[in-house]
Amino acid sequence: MLDLLEPFLDIPRPYYGALLAVGFCVYYFFGVVKTPMLVCANGPFRAFLEEHVPLVRNKFWPTLWCFESRAQTIIASVLRSRILPPIHYRREILTLSDGGEVALDWAEEGCSATSPIVIILPGLTGASQAEYIKCLVSSAKKVGIRCVIFNNRGLGGVELKTPRMYCAANSDDLSEVIEHVKKLHPQAHLGATGISMGGLILGNYLAQEGVMARGKLKGCFLISVPWNVFAATKNTEENYFNLMINKYLAGTLRKNIQRLHYSSEPGMFDVDIETLLKSQTVREFDSHFTVKQFGYKDVEEYYSNATIHDKLHLIDVPLLCLSAADDPFQPVQAIPLKEISETKKVAVVVTSRGGHIGFLEGMWPVKEEQYMGKLFSQFFAALFTSGLDHQML
Q: Which of 261, 326, 356, 377 is catalytic?
A: 356
315 contact partners, CB below 8 Å, separation of at least 6: 203, 206, 207, 210, 213, 343, 345, 346
Q: How far apart are the first and last CA of the chain?
A: 63
Q: Which of 139, 196, 224, 323 is catalytic?
A: 196
Q: How does DSSP classify residue 198?
A: H
196 part of the active site: yes
* CA 102 to centroid of chain Cα atoms: 20
Distance separating alpha carbons of residues 310 and 20, to the nearest angstrom: 45
Distance separating alpha carbons of residues 148 and 128, to the nearest angstrom: 9
Buried b (16+ CB within 10 A) or exposed e, 199-223: bbbbbbbbbbbeeebbebbbbbbbb
Distance separating alpha carbons of residues 340 and 245, to the nearest angstrom: 29
Q: How does DSSP classify residue 224?
A: S
Indicate the SS3 state at residue 36: coil
Q: Which of 173, 286, 326, 327 is catalytic?
A: 327
CA distances to 29, 107, 153, 331 from 139, rounded to whole Å, are 28, 11, 26, 28
174 residue type, one letter: L
Q: Which residues pair with 194 in a beta bridge?
A: 121, 222
4 residue type, one letter: L
* CA 138 to centroid of chain Cα atoms: 16
Structural contact between residues 126 and 201, judged by C-beta atoms closer than 8 angstroms: no
C-beta neighbour count of 332 within 10 angstroms: 14
| Sequence-ordered strand ranges (E) for the chain | 37-39, 90-95, 101-107, 117-121, 146-151, 190-195, 219-223, 319-324, 346-351
327 part of the active site: yes
Residues recorded for the chain = 393
Structural contact between residues 108 and 91, judged by C-beta atoms closer than 8 angstroms: no
Please choose, from the candidates 359, 388, 355, 363, the residue with its C-alpha nearest in 3D space to the C-alpha of residue 375.
Answer: 359
HSE, side-chain direction, 13 A CA sphere, residue 167:
25
Q: So which residues are the catalytic ones?
A: 196, 327, 356
